[in-house]
């Protein structure tokens, strides 16, 4: 899981003492975003944003994160709404199965096709138009995302946690799971308090690290 992103050292304010040290350790040991693990180089561009949306749909189901990320990588060939629409339902199923996403493969293949149709009809295949429609309101972004099939509150949180790296108006975005994880390891339990522990451009990595340490407590040692 080690990537250049995870190896980057954050500048944690020294005056934060123990919490700053914990935040730095989190970034060093678990600071890989889920998008990066899925092979997505996130940018404010149509294709990587769409791939992030797809990943968020796959992570929304009750399935192991590693399997969802593996399936996301297998779907790279359908990395634009147009390619997803042009793929047959069976081709989408086959890609999901190659990623071991077997439990929900058929229903998810259907949902991805429907979502690609919605992307075209509503946003002209460009999620930046959803961002513009939200007009800087994170709550509106979250609400609009949930119009996509199979993307409920959990999936919207996943998208926003990761997208805050390229959509600054979402910052700081720490969902309920991240805040609960922060409480368990003695960090502030409000988004603004957590945001003070790391640089603004590390917030996406920090949020991902909090989720990872919740799933794997040994990451902090």
Give residue for tokens 């709404």. Answer: 81
Reported residue count of the chain is 221
Predicted pLDDT at 138: 97
Distance CA 40, CA 33 (A): 10
Q: In this predicted model, what pLDDT tens digit does every residue of 28-56 receive, in sequence order? A: 999 999 999 999 999 999 999 999 999 99
CB 29 within 8 A of CB 219: yes
pLDDT for 110:
98
CA 46 from centroid of its chain's CA atoms:
15
Is residue 13 pLDDT above 70, yes or no?
no
Which pLDDT score is estimated for 17?
Answer: 53
Look over the chain and give the mean of its residue pLDDT values, rounded to a whole number: 92
pTM (2 d.p.): 0.90
Residue among 171, 148, 179 at smallest CA distance from 52: 148
Does 75 have pLDDT greater than 90?
A: yes
Q: What is the pLDDT of residues 94-105, one digit of tens each?
A: 999 999 998 899
């Amino acid at each position: 899981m080690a990537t250049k992103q995870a190896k980057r050292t954050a500048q944690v304010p020294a005056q934060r003492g123990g919490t700053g040290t914990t935040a730095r350790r989190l970034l060093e040991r678990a600071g890989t975003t889920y998008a990066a693990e899925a092979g997505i180089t996130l940018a404010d561009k149509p294709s990587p944003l769409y791939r992030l949306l797809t990943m968020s749909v796959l992570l929304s189901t009750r399935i192991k994160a590693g399997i969802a990320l593996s399936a996301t990588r297998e779907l790279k060939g359908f990395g634009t709404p147009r390619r997803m629409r042009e793929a047959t339902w069976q081709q989408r199923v086959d890609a999901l199965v190659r990623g071991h996403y077997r439990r929900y493969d058929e229903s998810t293949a259907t949902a991805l096709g429907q979502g690609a149709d919605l992307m075209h009809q509503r946003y002209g295949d460009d999620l930046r138009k959803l961002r513009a429609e939200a007009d800087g309101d994170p709550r509106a972004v979250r609400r609009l995302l949930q119009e996509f099939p199979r993307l409920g509150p959990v999936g919207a949180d996943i998208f926003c946690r990761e997208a805050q790296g390229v959509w600054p108006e979402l910052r700081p975005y720490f969902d309920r799971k991240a805040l609960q994880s922060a409480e368990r390891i003695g960090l502030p339990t409000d988004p603004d308090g957590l945001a003070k522990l790391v640089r603004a451009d590390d917030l996406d990595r920090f949020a991902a690290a909090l989720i990872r340490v919740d799933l794997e407590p040994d990451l902090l040692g």
